[in-house]
Structure 1
Amino acid sequence: RFASVVTTAGFSASAHDPALFIHLSPRGRTLLLLYVDDMIITGDDPEYIAFVKARLSEQFLMSDLGPLRYFLGIEVSSTSDGFFISQEKYIQDLLARAALTDERTVETPMELNVHLRATDGVPLPDPTRYRHLVGSLVYLAVTRPDISYPVHILSQFVSAPKSVHYSHLLRVLRYLRGTISHRLFFPSSSSLQLQAYADATWASDPSDRRSLSAYCVFLGGSLIAWKTKKQIAVSRSSAETELRAMALLTAEVTWLRWLLQDFGVSVTTPTMLLSDSTGAISIARDPVKHELTKHIGVDAFYVRAAVQDQVVALQYVPSELQLADFLTKAQTRAQHGFYLSKLSVVPPP
């Protein structure tokens, strides 16, 4: 019913996001984003926005909460320099539910060189708390890329968590206690050009030797997308692992470019895709490679086609400047602080 009402009001559904509705008029563009019974309406046509609010109020019981400050547990604040998004209250509630018995904090969410296995430790007598806390952390990672990697690791043991897994979960909570007010910053001076980083760790899972892909995408100086994901197949080389990570990121970049066009942002130049693997870049660029790479042909051809269509442009980046590395492994204190600053995960001003 909602879709028919907004369509009647002049909106059209986005072909790239079923929750997004778009309206164009001589006065500008209006966007409506819907999630169940919560919505955001924004745009540069205030007259039409007022009309839509009135039309929806005629059909549905609604409350206008004014300028965006809180949405689905995400807090939004603004200054003259830009916007901040955070989940501080969500973290407070999470820590209260966790009922930690001490006040300790830690500076990083995961210890160095930890390789957790399903057989580590003894089974928890009641895994419900572990599952509940990890599930809550998954949603918290929507605004906290600094916990993306440990949450990915801990999520793999929700079916049968052990004592060791729970102790590492508590470390993440103690890290959050010490960084509870950290938030993502989106500078108002940011450009509207996409830049993306792809990285991977080869055979990083000790149980099945599958590799880990990770990426992060920036719109100008604003981090807008990130992901840590285990690869579905075992890779025979680090270059193969990195190429699969590039293919995963290429799909995300393609979608983001479509979405930006829905927002009225012109996307005409290739998106820079940065990787620290010269081998993967070479495979993606070269249509004739050794037969040992034929088993990864789909990923290679997919990335190569995106390069030829000028969707992405591949560029080498030194490993020490590979920002997606933050999402593939635990870091030292110094490295952790460096990546937080680069990703604009900052304390309040």
Structure 2
Amino acid sequence: MIITGDDSKYIVFAKAHLSEQFLMSDLGPLRYFLEIEVSSTYDDFFISQEKYIQDLLTCAVLSDEHTAKTPMDLNVHLRASDGDPLSDPMRYRHLVGSLVYLVVTRPDISYHVHILSKFVSTPTSVHYSHLLHVVQYLHGTISHRLFFPCSSLLQLQAYSDATWASDPSDRRSLSSYRVFLGGSLIAWKTKKQTMVSCSSAEADLRAMALLTAEVTWLQWLLEDFWCFYYYTYYPLVRQYKLY
């Protein structure tokens, strides 16, 4: 069980109360969980997957130490028919699956992973070369981390964007968004639109609609957190004088 927060007295109280009900061990501050590394200072937190990327590089068996400045070249439009089919597609599928989990802490590759994931059933040599390009980018940016400041305004800021007719097979567009809570990036997604947009403006509006639904859900979630604090945590603070 993981207990987080910035109230040390309440954390001690919660752990003592839980230990009376369940068999549990105190493993100290969170450092590593589900391939995610957590580091902290007095004022902020960082999460990363540096060890996970190292294992990914080992699995990819790169023949050189070259790195890439970007995850993918500009204006690349991959098709299912590009290149020759791979004799053993399992390596491609394994690497793409690993990248899907890596997006948990690396939103900078979410768009490119989305593109490469479309070809896991029948990958080709061209798809694999672009996959290795993403891996080379990770090799050069292995120390990149997500930053979460301890003190920040609890205000949502959201940004969306869209491509237009970027998929050459069906002319459908891609929606993408990023949501910040204060200075912390808390939500991101790249998703193919379900319908063909007749203009770039229509594609952008569909991306904004997707973002609006996400922000609405996050507002409800934050309200639930506040209600939990007010009706559960605050009475315990007063009862046990944890202030």
Give the TM-score taking structure 1 as reference length: 0.62
Any residues of structure 2 matched to 1:168-187 within 5 Å, and which? 168-187=130-149
In the aligned structure 2, how far is the partner of 1:156 from the partner of 1:243? Answer: 24
User: Displacement, 1:265?
Assistant: 8.3
Equivalent residue of 2:158, what SS? strand
Q: Out of 205, 210, 214, which is 1:243 matched to?
A: 205
Structure 2 counterpart of 1:78, one-letter code: S
Identity of counterpart residues, as a percentage? 77
Deviations 1:130-162 (A, max 9, x none): 000000000001100111111111001001000
Q: Which residues in structure 2 correspond to 1:70-89 (within 5 Å)?
A: 70-89=32-51
Is it true that 1:204 corresponds to 2:170 in the alignment? no
Deviation at 1:193?
A: 0.5
Pair 1:213-2:179 in alignment:
no
Residues in 1 aligned to 2:219 and 2:180: alpha-carbon distance in whole angstroms: 12
State the AA in 2 paired with 1:88: E
Aligned letter for 1:192? L
Determine the structure 1 residue equivalent to 2:238: none
- Mapped to 2, the partners of 1:68 and 1:54 lie a distance apart of 22
* Partner residue, 1:137: 99
> Residue 121 of structure 1: which of 71, 74, 83 is its match?
83
Matches of 2:206 and 2:26 in 1, distance apart? 45
Q: Does the 8 Å contact 1:42/1:49 carry over to 2?
A: no
Residue deviations 1:97-126, cap 9 Å, x none? 111111111111101111110000000001
Q: What is residue 240 of structure 2 aligned with on the other side?
A: none
CA shift for structure 1 position 231: 0.5
Q: Which runs of 5+ in 1 are unaligned?
A: 1-38, 267-349
Conserved 8 A contact 1:75-1:87: yes
Match of 2:21 in 1: 55
Secondary structure, counterpart of 2:73 in structure 1? coil
Q: Which runs of 4+ in 1 moved over 4 A?
A: none
Q: Report the equivalent of 1:191.
A: 153
Superposed CA RMSD = 1.6
What is the CA–CA distance in structure 2 between the aligned matches of 1:265 and 1:177, rounded to whole Å? 43
Report the Cα distance in structure 1 between the residues aligned to 2:227 and 2:204, rounded to whole angstroms: 30
| 1:77/1:85 contact within 8 Å kept | yes
Post-superposition Cα deviations, 1:207-264, rounded to whole Å, max 9, x if no partner, equal: 1100100000001111111100100111122222112111111111112112222332
Question: Which has the larger share of strand?
Answer: 1
Q: Identify the match of residue 57 of structure 2 among 64, 89, 95.
A: 95
Shift of 1:42: 2.7
- Residue number in structure 1 paired with 2:233: none
Matched residue count: 224
Q: CA deviation at 1:189?
A: 2.9
TM-score by length of 2: 0.88
Who is 1:166 aligned against? 128
Q: Secondary structure at the match of 1:263?
A: helix
Report if the CA contact (8 A) 1:192-1:265 is conserved. no
Stretches of structure 2 that go unaligned for 5 or more consecutive residues are 229-243
CA distance in 2, matches of 1:95, 1:162: 20
Aligned partner of 2:232 in structure 1 is none
Deviation at 1:55, TM superposition (A): 1.5
- Cα deviation code 1:11-38 (max 9, x no counterpart): xxxxxxxxxxxxxxxxxxxxxxxxxxxx
- SS of 2:53's partner is helix
